[in-house]
Amino acid sequence: MQQLNSFLDSELVRRSRQWQRLKILLAKALPTEFLAKVSYAHLDDNGKLTMFADAPEWTSRMRFYTSEITEVFEEEGLKVAEIQVKTVPAPEARPPAG
């Protein structure tokens, strides 16, 4: 069980560090008001960047910045082959369960 906990802890730390780095890069590529709308982003080993926005209108707007995002990431040595933006409503905007 200790091995599993160690793996989970290290995986969570790795993802947290990646998210922090991606936030810094996205701050260089996107207008300031967009950053508050990105709840999470992930760059996989194949160069697919997935970003999660809190509303469909922000998802659509972010798609106009793919070239800026790609340029900033490549300046930092990260290859972005594909960008996907998904909508995930903020917790306070979700309907109550039940």
Domain CATH number, residue 82: 3.30.300.180
Is pTM, for the whole model, over 0.85? no
Is 33 domain-assigned? yes
pLDDT digits (tens, 9 = 90+) for 34-67: 988 898 899 999 999 999 998 999 999 999 999 9
Q: Indicate whether 18 pLDDT > 60.
A: yes
**Residue 53: strand, helix, or coil:** strand
Nearest to 82 by CA among 27, 29, 43: 43
Domain tally for the chain?
1
**Residue 3: strand, helix, or coil:** helix
For the ranges 56-60, 70-74, 94-98, which has the lowest average pLDDT? 94-98
Is 76 domain-assigned? yes
The boundaries of the domain holding residue 55 are 2-89
Q: Mean of the per-residue pLDDT values for the chain?
A: 87
Is 96 domain-assigned? no
* pLDDT score, position 89: 80
Is 66 domain-assigned? yes
More confident residue, 91 or 48: 48
Nearest to 68 by CA among 49, 46, 42: 49
Is 14 domain-assigned? yes
More confident residue, 62 or 2: 62
